[in-house]
Structure 1
Amino acid sequence: MDGIFSETEHKRIADAIREAENRTTGEIVCVVARQCEPYAIIAMMWSALGGLLAGAVAVPFWSGLPVFCLPLLQVAVVALLMLLLQITPLRMAMVPEAVKRRRAERLARAQFLEQGLHRTEGRTGILIFAAMAEHHVEILADEGIDAKVDPATWQTVVDGFTAQMKRGETIDAFVDAIGQCGAPLAEHFPKTPGNANELPDRLVEI
């Protein structure tokens, strides 16, 4: 599968991370997911429900027609709905918001560990995570940052990022968020001589 963003767009993110980290010992990692999961079970549930409803609606008008045709109608409706729900925007519209939020939160926490943000020397790693299909953004900071920066600080960044992403400005949203996260990092964890860059400066696509 092709990448979500171009090489030029990846470079913009990498440059923004380097610029922010030039002022802090903190480490910023950006991760973007096309979508958190396929939600196949959701599509199956809605399709099955549609088939049942189609049968219930058709029964009063079915007199005089062969009985075996009713299950065929239901199967046809299920197949049609399954086909339609292969279209990502349609499928995502049928997924409850609470389900999308839980899946995105779970994936963000998994990525925090997978990208090694919990292993930085001063526990000053911060993850900027975006799930595009879910329109969900998470900013997760390690314990060294949480000890000095109120976690509520990140909500303004999340709100701005989410609004930009919904407008299709995801790269701009990442660049802006990196700068906004870099400011409190520079304040509380200023750059020190000999500080090593512990994590790659790049956007990770999953």
Structure 2
Amino acid sequence: MALFSTADRGRIEGVVAEQERRTSGELVVLVVPSSDSYLDVRMAFAALAGLAVGEIVHAMAPALDAAVVLWAVFLGGVAVFALLGIGAVLGRVLPGARTQSAVERRAREEFFARGIFETRDRTGVLLMLSELERTVALWGDAGVHRVLHDEGWQRHVGQIVESVRRDQAADGVVTALEQIGDVLAAHFPPRPDDTNELPDAVQGV
């Protein structure tokens, strides 16, 4: 299920624009379907499932030809690999540490690919939500990190993740944007010649 409705996207865009009127900082909200293909995870589960099927078939019919057992191993593995191609199923078996590292890596890539590090005052902030993993990453440029340290980032991430779990992702994002906006406004007030350097609309791929 998509994290945001059309109305949610409009609401978030409005909040981004509102916060950016108070600061020279730039806020970008990005939603990606997933942060990784997780082929390694799918293959590992498929291999284990295939071996398990082979053991069961052999235990139930020890007289079966070895070729038949091998076919059972192959088909069992293929079936599980295909099943894990369904996002809702894969999301339930992904290890937490694996998903978090994938989301952080994807956010880092998007931060640079989208030029968020190129703002005039180095005050760009990326808030990325990954739908498959139902989790969040926050990346801030050097100027922002000087005033909002790791514990601040983690507080916002935890708050949004909890909102996603309650199917209230938009509420969590809006609250985080307003809180980050308060910090940016206090430390990076708008310049007289301030321009909107990055898009306000929710970005997607």
- Kept in 2: contact 1:124–1:145 (CA 8 A): yes
Q: TM-score, normalised to structure 1's length?
A: 0.90
8 Å CA contact 1:4, 1:205 repeated in 2: no
TM-score norm. by structure 2 comes to: 0.90
How far did 1:29 drift? 0.7
**2:153 and 2:32 mapped to 1: Cα distance?**
20
User: 1:5 deviation in Å?
Assistant: 4.1
Deviation of the 1:137 alpha carbon: 1.4
Q: Which residue of 2 aligns with 1:83?
A: 82
Alignment of 1:103-122 (within 5 A): 103-122=102-121
1:146 counterpart residue number: 145
Give 1:35 deviation, angstroms: 1.1
Structure 1 contact 139–154 (Cα < 8 Å) conserved: yes
CA apart distance, 1:194: 2.2
Displacement of 1:4 in angstroms is 6.4
Q: Return the alpha-carbon distance in structure 2 between the equivalents of residues 169 and 72 of structure 1.
A: 46
Structure 2 residue matching 1:68: 3-state secondary structure = helix
Query: Deviations 1:57-83 (Å, cap 9, x if unpaired)?
Result: 332332333333212221221232123
Provide Cα deviations, 1:138-196, integer angstroms capped at 9, x if missing partner: 21111112223333222221111000011222222221211111010011111232211
Q: Which stretch shows the higher mean deviation, 62-71 or 104-113? A: 62-71
Runs of 5+ unmatched residues, structure 2: none
Equivalent in the alignment of 1:128: 127
Q: Are 1:202 and 2:171 an aligned pair? A: no
| Letter of the structure 2 residue corresponding to residue 197 of structure 1 | N
The CA deviation string for residues 92-117 of structure 1, in whole angstroms up to 9 with x for no partner, is 22222222111111110111112211
Q: Which SS does the other structure have where 2:29 is aligned?
A: strand
Give CA deviations for 1:117-147 in whole Å, capped at 9, x if unaligned. Answer: 1111111111111112212212111111222
**What is the identity, as a one-letter code, of the residue corresponding to 2:119?**
T
Which residue type is aligned with residue 107 of structure 1?
Answer: R
**Contiguous gaps of at least 5 residues in structure 1:** none
How many residues of Structure 1 are paired with residues of Structure 2 in the alignment?
204
Q: 10-19 or 132-141: which moved more? A: 132-141
Cα separation, 1, equivalents of 2:174 and 2:117:
23
RMSD: 1.9
Cα deviation, residue 6, structure 1: 4.2
